[in-house]
Amino acid sequence: MKILVTGGLGFIGSHTVVELQNKGFEVVIIDNLSNSSKRVLDGIFAITGKKPIFEEFDLRDKSKVEDFFSRHRDIEGVIHFAASKAVGESVEKPLLYYENNIGVLTYILQELSKKGNSRFIFSSSCTVYGQADTMPITEDAPVKPAESPYGNTKQVGEEIIRDICKVTPHLAAIALRYFNPIGAHPSVEIGELPIGVPQNLVPYITQTGIGMREQLSVYGDDYPTSDGTCIRDYIHVVDLAKAHVAALQRLVNDENKDNYEVFNLGTGTGSSVLDVIKSFENVSGKKLNYKIVARRAGDVVEAYADTKKANDVLGWSAESTLDDAMKSAWDWEQKVRS
Ligand code: WQD
Establish whether residue 187 lines the binding site of ligand 1, counting it when its CB lies within 6 angstroms of any ligand atom: no
Phi, psi of 74 (to 5 degrees): -90, 10
231-to-81, 104, 225, 285, 301 alpha-carbon distances in Å: 25, 33, 8, 23, 6
Mean pLDDT of 161-184: 97
Which neighbouring-strand residues pair with 28? Answer: 4, 53
Report how far apart the first and last C-alpha atoms of the chain are (Å, whole number): 38
Amino acid, single-letter form, for residue 33: L
Reported residue count of the chain is 338
* Ligand 1 centre distance from Cα of residue 166 (Å): 34
The pLDDT value recorded for residue 173 is 98
Nearest CA to ligand 1 atom 26: 200
The pLDDT value recorded for residue 60 is 98
The pLDDT value recorded for residue 338 is 87
Mean pLDDT of 187-203: 95
Q: Which residues are part of the catalytic machinery?
A: 150
191 exposure class (CB count in 10 Å sphere: 0-12, 13-18, 19+): buried
* Ligand 1 centre distance from Cα of residue 124 (Å): 16
Residues with Cβ < 8 Å from 232, sequence gap 6 or more? 179, 180, 201, 270, 271, 303, 304
The pLDDT value recorded for residue 117 is 87
Establish whether residue 165 lines the binding site of ligand 1, counting it when its CB lies within 6 angstroms of any ligand atom: no
The pLDDT value recorded for residue 116 is 86
Distance CA 315, CA 273 (A): 30
The pLDDT value recorded for residue 228 is 98
150-to-12, 84, 146, 257, 265 alpha-carbon distances in Å: 17, 8, 8, 29, 19
pLDDT digits (tens, 9 = 90+) for 99-142: 999 999 999 999 999 998 899 999 999 999 999 999 999 999 99
Nearest CA to ligand 1 atom 5: 200
pLDDT digits (tens, 9 = 90+) for 13-45: 999 999 999 999 999 999 999 999 999 999 999
Pick from 87-91, 148-152, 279-283: least confident? 87-91
Of 328, 329, 311, nearest to 265 (Cα)? Answer: 311
What crossing angle do the helices spanning 11-22 and 237-252 adopt, rounded to 10°?
A: 50
Q: What is the 3 state secondary structure string of the chain?
A: CEEEEECCCCHHHHHHHHHHHHCCCEEEEECCCCCCCCHHHHHHHHHHCCCCEEECCCCCCHHHHHHHHHHCCCEEEEEECCCCCCHHHHHHCHHHHHHHHHHHHHHHHHHHHHCCCEEEEEEEEHHHHCCCCCCCECCCCCCCCCCCHHHHHHHHHHHHHHHHHHCCCCEEEEEEEECEEECCCCCCCCCCCCCCCCCCHHHHHHHHHCCCCCCEEEECCCCCCCCCCCEECEEEHHHHHHHHHHHHHHHHCCCCCCCEEEEEECCCCCEEHHHHHHHHHHHHCCCCCEEEECCCCCCCCECCECCHHHHHHHCCCCCCCHHHHHHHHHHHHHHHCC
Pairing of strands 231-232, 271-272: antiparallel
* Ligand 1 centre distance from Cα of residue 87 (Å): 9
Establish whether residue 225 lines the binding site of ligand 1, counting it when its CB lies within 6 angstroms of any ligand atom: no
Establish whether residue 85 lines the binding site of ligand 1, counting it when its CB lies within 6 angstroms of any ligand atom: yes
Establish whether residue 123 lines the binding site of ligand 1, counting it when its CB lies within 6 angstroms of any ligand atom: no
The pLDDT value recorded for residue 58 is 98
Distance CA 201, CA 212 (A): 14
199-to-58, 120, 296 alpha-carbon distances in Å: 24, 29, 11
- The predicted model scores a pTM of 0.97
Mutate to test the pocket of ligand 1, among 202, 219, 223 (most ligand atoms within 8 A of CB): 219
Establish whether residue 175 lines the binding site of ligand 1, counting it when its CB lies within 6 angstroms of any ligand atom: no
Of 314, 241, 298, 327, nearest to 16 (Cα)? Answer: 241
Nearest CA to ligand 1 atom 1: 201
Confidence of residue 327 (pLDDT cuts 50, 70, 90): very high
* Ligand 1 centre distance from Cα of residue 103 (Å): 26
Establish whether residue 267 lines the binding site of ligand 1, counting it when its CB lies within 6 angstroms of any ligand atom: no
* Ligand 1 centre distance from Cα of residue 248 (Å): 28
